[in-house]
Structure 1
Amino acid sequence: MGGFASWHAIDSCHAIDPYPMDCLTCAAPMRPLPTIDSSEWDGGSGGWKPLEDRNRPTHHCTTPTEITVGRWGELNIFACPDEPEHPHRWRIQ
């Protein structure tokens, strides 16, 4: 859990990168929770490719969960660090 959120596909109407993800209740900067990605690793670089999949065709092993977010994006979920009961926020990239 945690880590960072990728902001590789922010909307053209937002000039700030990364896009601020603040709590809508108290304005605290929110922290990332899980990221749900459409693929386990990218076929170009082979980054994060498990050793047991190194000889398998790319399209067969990059999506073991068979979850697709939007148009092959990733879902980021954020939580308020000050008050866990505040509503979570999310963003699809």
Structure 2
Amino acid sequence: MPLVGLAQFFRRDIPGLACGPGGADLVQLFHCPFTHGMHLERRYRLRWRQARHTEDVGRFLVTPPEVPLLRWEHELPEPCVLHPEEVDTYPWAEDDTLPASLIARIDAWEDAQAAEHGPDTPSYQDDLSIPPGWRVGGYPSWASTGPMAVDCASCATPMRLLLAAEGYEMDAGSHSWVPLEDRDPALRGKASIRGGRSVVQPTRLRFGRDRDLHVFACPADPGHPPRWLLA
């Protein structure tokens, strides 16, 4: 069964994208359109390529593979164009992802902000550390599972986040990440978002139970198999 393409990223468009095996400068993400096993496992495939080879029209298929009949709408991505934006991200503040003293200071600051300004005040986790949506590089979000060690199965090297995919580009807890053109500046939280589903969920995809799909790569050897994690 042909795999369904989810995304492709060129290093020329995203300077922070890691280099692939043999200097590959294009990474593509696919998934099987069906689930597998009693736990309804979703299977993904990461392919590294040389961009110059993929842009040779002579190599294109005359007839693209047909997408099979799918059970759920969110299993088929909505075609869209990426507009990358470079932002600074910071580690998830839990367990030993940051020094305990710094996490305590963050917690105290959030409590003080909430007491003074109410529940819609900005928070470190939602508004300052890691943006929602699709991300290349940076730090993983551990909202569902808590921090986990992710080591390479081939050489035991701690792996780095290659990319993360999320169904929603914005939500009620991430007001600060909503683009100015997509929100009402007089409102906060989910009420401020304008544009409907096409803005909030442009790709139409969902991962797990609305979790983030994290793809980790080995920094010692990009040829080592990637690891997938829903968190």
TM-score range, shorter chain: 0.7 to 0.9
2:212 alignment partner, one of 69, 74, 78: 74
Aligned residues of 1:38 and 1:74 also touching (Cα < 8 A): yes
Q: Tell me the matched-pair count.
A: 87
* Partner in structure 2 of residue 91 of structure 1: 229
Query: After TM superposition, what 4+ stretches of structure 1 lie above 2 angstroms from structure 2?
Result: 57-61
- Which structure's residues are more often helix, by fraction? 2
State the Cα distance separating 1:58 from its structure 2 match. 5.8
- Structure 2 portions without partners, runs of 5+: 1-135, 185-193
Aligned residues of 2:144 and 2:211 also touching (Cα < 8 A): no
Counterpart amino acid of 1:77? V
40-49 or 64-73, larger mean C-alpha shift: 40-49
**In the TM superposition, what whole-angstrom CA distance separates every residue of 1:18-41 from its partner, at most 9, and x where no partner exists?**
210000010000000110011101
Mapped partners of 1:35, 1:72: distance in 2: 13
* Partner in structure 2 of residue 20 of structure 1: 149
* Partner in structure 2 of residue 52 of structure 1: 181
Residues 8 and 74 (structure 1), Cα distance of their counterparts in 2 relative to 1, 3 Å cut = same
Aligned residues of 1:23 and 1:86 also touching (Cα < 8 A): yes
SS of equivalent residue, structure 1 residue 90: strand
Structure-2-length-normalised TM-score: 0.35
Residues 47 and 2 (structure 1), Cα distance of their counterparts in 2 relative to 1, 3 Å cut = same
- Structure 1 portions without partners, runs of 5+: 11-16
2:163 alignment partner, one of 34, 37, 40: 34
Percent identical pairs in the alignment equals 44
Mapped partners of 1:21, 1:74: distance in 2: 15
Q: Could you say what the CA RMSD is over the residues aligned between the two structures, in angstroms? A: 1.7
* Partner in structure 2 of residue 3 of structure 1: 138
Greater Rg by CA: 2
Structure-1-length-normalised TM-score: 0.82
Name the structure, 1 or 2, with higher relative contact order (CA <8 Å, separation 6+): 1
Aligned residues of 1:22 and 1:28 also touching (Cα < 8 A): yes
